[in-house]
Amino acid sequence: MSLPRRLTSVLLSAALAVGAALGPGTAQAAPATHRDPGNGPDRHEVAAPGPTSRTVPVAGENQPGTPGGRSLSGPAPTLGDPGVQQGYPRQTRLREYPEAPGDRAVKLGLLPYHEIAPRLNDLQRESDRVSVEVVGESTQGRDLYLVTVTAPERPAETRRQDAWRDLIQDNPDLAARRGALRAQYKAPVWINANIHGDEWEGTDGAMRVIERLATSNDEDVRTLLEETRVHVTISNNPDGRVAGTRSNAAGFDVNRDHITSSQPESRAARDVLIATQPVLMLDQHGYTGDTLIEPGTPPHGQNYEFDLYIRHAYANALGMERAVQDLGHPETRQVDIPFRDYQPGAWDAWPPIFTPMYAIYHGAVGHTVEVPMRVNRTQYDTLPVEELRRRAGINTDVAEATIDAALDYVVEHRESLVADQIELFRRGWAGEAQRDVEDDYVPGFGDEDRYHTTFPRAYVIPAGPGQRSEAAAARLVDHLVAHDVRVERAEAGFRLGGASYPAGSYLVDMHQPKRGLANVMLEAGRDISTDVPTMYDISGWSHGLLWGASVDVVPDEAPAVATSPVAAAGPTGAVDAPPGSDLALDVVDGGDVRAVNALLAGGQAVHRLDDGSVVLPASARSEARTVADRYGVRFTASAHGERGVPLHRPVVAAAASADESLVLRDLGFEVRSVSTAVLDDGFDWSDVDVLYVSSGLRYSALSVAARSALDDFLEVGGVVTRGGTGATFNAEADLLTVSAVAGPSNANGVVAVSGGSGPVGTHAPDHSFVYSPLWFTELGPEVRVEQRYEEDGPLVAGHWSAGDRGPGAAAGAASVVSGVAERGARTVLFGTEPLFRAHPKGLHAQVGNAVFWAVSA
């Protein structure tokens, strides 16, 4: 998928006639991988996805994971590719799935996933206004569909529209002067449905709208489709839709993943957002008791151009409210607009993890819509089917009404919405300060709504000795580019902000269109503990502090060095040692952990030293080069005279959350899920090396037989725990002598820490992440402090209220400890959250080192 193009010194006036021009500074994502469909089954014989199966694409039809796939009339385009000589419609014969009677939507009288493709195939045959592209696949391999409804366009018309879209971002000054653009640009709208799998009705409401727009001869519909492109991701979480789960099949809440993009569903949504550049988007959810329509409450993201957002968001919410009330259902009379109706923090617009909050940084006016009547969870299992279907019908009416009202708003305010998107990007390029918003700019706007930041002039991700981890730096750069943040590589050494940097260092010049997104990802963040009494979800995050790379902030000085645009970070793997030398690897990043586990899985002799580094014999040089290339790690000549303790690839029994289990597997460990119930059923400990405990396992609740078997393991195996459940396990199993002190359960954010001398803390970053933080006191003689919360107060960004369990109480206390229990188990206790939602990439090696140390007896 091609990302929007960047214009530098060359204007796009000539390009308007022939398509978008690519200029210096372009940041493009790597193209989607096309899978060979091979000799697949017949069209109606596609295997139904299961927990471990993958569906097989059919030759001549769409290919999952490939935007576009196969067209009914020839090869289909890649989404957003300006070189494609095809207009609209661009139709794809979708593969159809076998009937799945167990699909949880069936009971509600809603559209099961297996009926979506046939319905869309029929619509494409019946209407030249409907296009469908496959923009990815779910965790279990189901297709993710993007439906576009618009008036037909000749290829030249589509090229012109796409060129205008790019001009809006790449040269907003010129875009603002283009009269034809203002008059004829088809404003993109994006509807995202069913990102939470057990919140179904957004899909059905959107399908009603699609079908009406596809077939209606109403003049208003024709006008709408001449003036807009309506893009719909019809089910962003089909695995959850079928199973009736909020999460995807990997156990992730996709609507918490947008700046991490660890899941295929969130990556597909990201790429649709970047490629379509909507002026307005809706994310359809449920169920809050009353219909809920954002904008949200304070705190509002401090990196927004909030004046451009709120005037449209509030007015559009009022229009959607009227449409819902006009349905006439008693259950739809009350509509909540959090900005107007809720107290600060109750439904905030702070973190960029949610789809609408993330979409705002790409130029959209984003809304969450919550349909009112609960039909999932307990209600799904206990209410009569007739009542469930009545509720689902009302919810579908609400979803349809909000979409219709939002489309009406776009038609009525198209020029203003487009002008404000242009202005958003213009401010970014110009580096202008955010605007002050006066009281009652919209009704109720006041001082509690004002959140501002001062954008730095640049960020530098150094190359060379000033970089903590080259692999982490490359990962961060690739992540930024994938999210449409402009990154450049210095062609020569330079000085900036009082520091010297070598050639090859990466620059994020904050004079760029999506500076808000760049800053919200790279900045440290803000302590908002005293701004609002509570928060809806996390309040702190930072790729700059938590992703393992050194990132320098340049407040004022403009970069003055020749650069080239970055499409992908340069390779970082190497074997920097003369032939015949033993090889050493410092385990400071998740890539290093993966490399070690890959070597162990390949039968290589790997030894671990006391400082946590590993050593390979000179004979493993070829294998080292292979993993260096694969994982971007760097081997140096070993200066150690001894080999250390031999390692083998650890097997981890994990009583853990889905995000932790995913990271452990991603790090290359063999993971077996356990719980109290699994151990009670009889678990084979014979080849397990380490027990990881953070969720679902209580030592005191085990049966006598299960506890006895676990006790035998604790004499020879290792233990790593996290959080309150882990601390309770440690106490009940009588492992390390510590007292665990718990902070508030909702306290969370980025914290400053200092490392100890142990293998878990030595190479750890200077910042960590907490949620329900713990700290350890009254340490026994066998306990070593691996990491402490900073003495001056640990909280850097987030929400952690003061008091007897506030950040001041944790200051200087142990956050991570290790030791050998009297019964034999090497044990590590984490009071921080190093694996939280797979986000803090720079902390993952801490857990890898903890596991390696726990098996190094």
The predicted structure's pLDDT at residue 757: 78
Residues 6+ apart with CB under 8 A from 641: none
Where would I find the beta strands (DSSP E) of 344-399? 348-349, 365-371
Q: Residue 240 and residue 253: Cα distance in Å, rounded?
A: 10
| Residues 501 and 417: beta-carbon distance below 8 Å | no
For domain 651-854, give its CATH number from 3.40.50.2300, 3.40.1640.10, 3.40.50.880, 3.30.70.20.
3.40.50.880
The predicted structure's pLDDT at residue 52: 32
| Residues 78 and 31: beta-carbon distance below 8 Å | yes
The predicted structure's pLDDT at residue 440: 96
**Long-range contacts formed by 177-180: CB under 8 A, 24+ apart:** none
Q: What's the CA dihedral at 142, 144, 150, 153 to 10 degrees?
A: -90
Tell me the residue length of the chain: 857
Q: What is the residue extent of each domain of the chain?
A: 15-428, 458-565, 574-646, 651-854
pTM over the 0.85 mark: yes
Q: What's the CA dihedral at 801, 805, 809, 814 to 10 degrees?
A: -110
Q: Residue 362 and residue 467: Cα distance in Å, rounded?
A: 30
Give residue-wise pLDDT tens across range 785-842.
Answer: 999 999 999 999 999 999 999 999 999 999 999 999 999 999 999 999 999 999 999 9
Q: Residue 481 and residue 360: Cα distance in Å, rounded?
A: 18
The predicted structure's pLDDT at residue 639: 83
Q: Residue 61 and residue 124: Cα distance in Å, rounded?
A: 14
Architecture of domain 574-646: 2-Layer Sandwich (3.30)
- Going by C-alpha positions, the residue among 15, 18, 23 that lies closest to residue 4 is 23
Mean pLDDT by 10 residues, the chain (857 residues): 31 30 31 29 31 31 35 37 70 95 98 98 97 98 98 97 98 97 97 98 98 97 98 98 98 98 98 98 97 98 98 98 98 98 97 98 98 98 98 98 98 98 98 97 97 98 96 98 98 97 98 98 98 96 98 97 97 95 96 98 94 93 97 92 87 98 98 98 97 98 98 98 98 98 97 89 94 98 97 97 96 97 97 98 98 92
The predicted structure's pLDDT at residue 17: 31
Q: Residue 857 and residue 850: Cα distance in Å, rounded?
A: 13
Domain boundaries 15-428, CATH class: alpha beta
Give residue-wise pLDDT tens across range 616-668.
Answer: 999 999 999 999 999 999 999 998 677 789 999 999 999 999 999 999 999 99
The predicted structure's pLDDT at residue 85: 54
The predicted structure's pLDDT at residue 640: 67
**Strand duo 690-693 + 718-722: pairing:** parallel
